[in-house]
């Protein structure tokens, strides 16, 4: 009895600390925003010693990259880029970015495609890259050096490269009838991304490219979308010749911080009360704007250490300011609740729309699960020895042996390293290209008459 009371008291203490942090951040941000309504931002930053201005008047290439969009960055590096929009069956307008190869004319950043003549390079196949949670296509693409950018590497290797963007993020912030200011716009979880977003993006890329199949590369949540879609939608799985999972996630261990773990075990209605029912943590963009790039990078480093225990030591310190400036975009609070439910149950399941009992257990029904044993396309896994977030052994154990065609463990890698490690272009990306070469039908993509 005493042990139970102490355990309950400790959990309530953890929840109180979590609430205190959220409230303190909100009060601080409200105070600063109130001041900024009176005092201009640049003057205020100079007064408090957080000025983002450099001593020189000229802007460096890296500073420009921090504010560049995916399309701007690709074109600034001498590649041709296209922006496509496609509507899901439930009305969300998704943006896809396409890299069609290097341009013969590479005279300066931001050149329009109409001013650039694309080289005639036979395409090996089509590749779709899908980002992680609270990310967008910039996270995959924008690197200090182009030889570290996986999409540009794949384009140079002869692939027709597409980059997806999930509903609600920076590039897919549109619905045919709903507005982002409405709660209904954000009433989606991982289920809708699996059921609608992935198939819609795959079908569009294949339709435009003229190919019959493509390769799918997912990072983190992008792999969960792949596992869920390719195991529950056989028609789409048949259109995938290889599924490359970087930092694969289906079953999740949880967070290393006990305070955050206390939120995971909380009722969904408490999470909605704390964060609302729209987008999760939009205040991150406020702090990105307020702090200098270096200060913002340090705050992200501290955050991922606090949440996951990751050191991020394998990411180049000189590149973090650039990378972290593209790390966040909007996502729904409901998606967070969905992940919390999966952490709590230890199962790769659909969203539970019901309210749990006081003891945290569910009764009277069974939540539908995504059965990875039903996956119908070849799978290649790249996972890290120091990535403590996913339960990778559990994922590996349920993938059919004839479908798990490659399983690579990088012992020293954490979660983000599979996108951003300073040596990923030597340790990981060449293996990815070699796998694509093996499983992609080497034939010239037939141009579509649509574009």
Per-residue pLDDT reduced to its tens digit, 410-437? 999 999 999 999 999 999 999 999 999 9
- The answer to the question of residue 209 being in a domain is yes
- The answer to the question of residue 296 being in a domain is yes
For residues 294 and 291, give the distance between their C-alpha atoms in angstroms, rounded to a whole number.
8
Write the CATH number for 227: 3.40.50.1820
224-245: average pLDDT: 98
Same domain, 274 and 379: yes
For residues 196 and 192, give the distance between their C-alpha atoms in angstroms, rounded to a whole number.
5
For residues 123 and 74, give the distance between their C-alpha atoms in angstroms, rounded to a whole number.
18
- Cα–Cα nearest to 177, from 117, 88, 116: 88
CA-based Rg of the chain, rounded to a whole angstrom? 22
Count the helix, strand and coil residues of the chain and give each as a percent rounded to the nearest 5: 45, 15, 40
Same domain, 355 and 307: yes
What pLDDT was estimated at residue 11? 52
Contact of 415 with 220, CB cutoff 8 Å: yes
Same domain, 170 and 206: yes
Phi, psi of 125 (to 5 degrees): 175, -175
Contact of 102 with 81, CB cutoff 8 Å: no
Residue of 107 and 381 predicted with greater confidence: 381
Containing structural domain, residue 287: 74-105+124-439
Contact of 228 with 141, CB cutoff 8 Å: no
Same domain, 233 and 321: yes
CA 41, 44, 49, 53 dihedral sign is positive
- The answer to the question of residue 367 being in a domain is yes
Query: Domains in the chain: how many in total?
Result: 2
Active site amino acids: 220, 387, 415
Same domain, 307 and 175: yes
For residues 65 and 76, give the distance between their C-alpha atoms in angstroms, rounded to a whole number.
9
What pLDDT was estimated at residue 361? 58
Q: What angle do CA 42, 45, 50 make, to 5 degrees?
A: 130
- Name the DSSP letter for residue 113: G
pTM of the entire structure?
0.87
Same domain, 248 and 359: yes
Same domain, 270 and 369: yes
298-324: average pLDDT: 94
pLDDT above 60 (res 10): no
Same domain, 16 and 158: no
Q: What angle do CA 393, 387, 311 make, to 5 degrees?
A: 165
Residue 54 gets the label, from left (phi > 0), alpha (psi -120 to 50) or beta, of beta
Same domain, 223 and 311: yes
- The answer to the question of residue 278 being in a domain is yes
Same domain, 41 and 153: no
Contact of 43 with 70, CB cutoff 8 Å: no
Same domain, 14 and 151: no
């Amino acid at each position: 009895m005493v042990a139970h009371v102490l355990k309950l008291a400790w959990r309530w203490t953890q929840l109180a600390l979590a609430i205190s942090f959220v409230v303190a951040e909100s009060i601080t941000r409200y105070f600063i925003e109130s001041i900024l309504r009176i005092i201009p931002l640049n003057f205020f930053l100079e007064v408090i010693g957080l000025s983002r201005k450099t001593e020189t008047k000229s802007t460096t290439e890296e500073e420009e990259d921090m504010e560049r969009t995916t399309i701007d960055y690709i074109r600034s590096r001498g590649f041709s880029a296209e922006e496509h929009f496609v509507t899901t069956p439930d009305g969300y307008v998704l943006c896809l970015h396409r890299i069609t190869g290097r341009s013969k004319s590479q005279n300066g950043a931001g050149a329009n495609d109409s001013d650039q003549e694309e080289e005639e390079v036979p395409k090996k196949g089509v590749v779709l890259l899908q980002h992680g949670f609270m990310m967008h296509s910039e996270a995959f693409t924008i690197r200090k050096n182009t030889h570290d950018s996986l999409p540009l590497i794949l384009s140079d290797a002869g692939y027709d490269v597409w980059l997806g963007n999930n509903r609600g993020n920076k590039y897919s912030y549109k619905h045919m009838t709903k507005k982002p200011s409405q709660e209904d716009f954000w009433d989606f979880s991982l289920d809708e991304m699996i059921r609608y977003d992935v198939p819609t993006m795959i079908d569009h890329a294949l339709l435009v490219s003229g190919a019959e199949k493509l390769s799918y590369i997912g990072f983190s949540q992008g792999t969960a979308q792949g596992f869920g879609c390719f195991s529950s939608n056989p028609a789409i799985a048949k259109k995938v010749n290889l599924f490359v999972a970087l930092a694969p996630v289906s079953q999740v261990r949880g967070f290393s911080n006990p305070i955050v773990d206390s939120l995971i075990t909380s009722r969904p209605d408490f999470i909605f009360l704390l964060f609302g029912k729209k987008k999760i943590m939009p205040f991150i963009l406020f702090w990105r704007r307020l702090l200098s790039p270096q200060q913002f990078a340090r705050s992200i480093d501290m955050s991922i250490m606090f949440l996951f225990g990751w050191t991020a030591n394998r990411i180049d310190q000189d590149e973090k300011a650039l990378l972290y400036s593209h790390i966040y975009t909007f996502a729904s609070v409901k998606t967070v609740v969905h992940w919390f439910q999966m952490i709590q149950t230890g199962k790769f399941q659909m969203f539970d729309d019901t309210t749990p009992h006081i003891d945290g257990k569910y009764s009277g029904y069974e939540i539908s699960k995504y059965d990875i044993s039903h996956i119908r396309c070849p799978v290649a896994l790249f996972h890290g020895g120091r990535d403590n977030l996913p339960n990778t052994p559990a994922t590996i154990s349920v993938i059919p042996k004839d479908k798990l065609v490659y399983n690579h463990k990088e012992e020293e890698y954490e979660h983000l390293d599979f996108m951003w490690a300073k040596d990923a272009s030597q340790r990981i990306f060449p293996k990815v290209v070699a796998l694509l070469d093996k499983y992609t039908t080497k034939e010239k993509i037939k141009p579509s008459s649509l574009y």
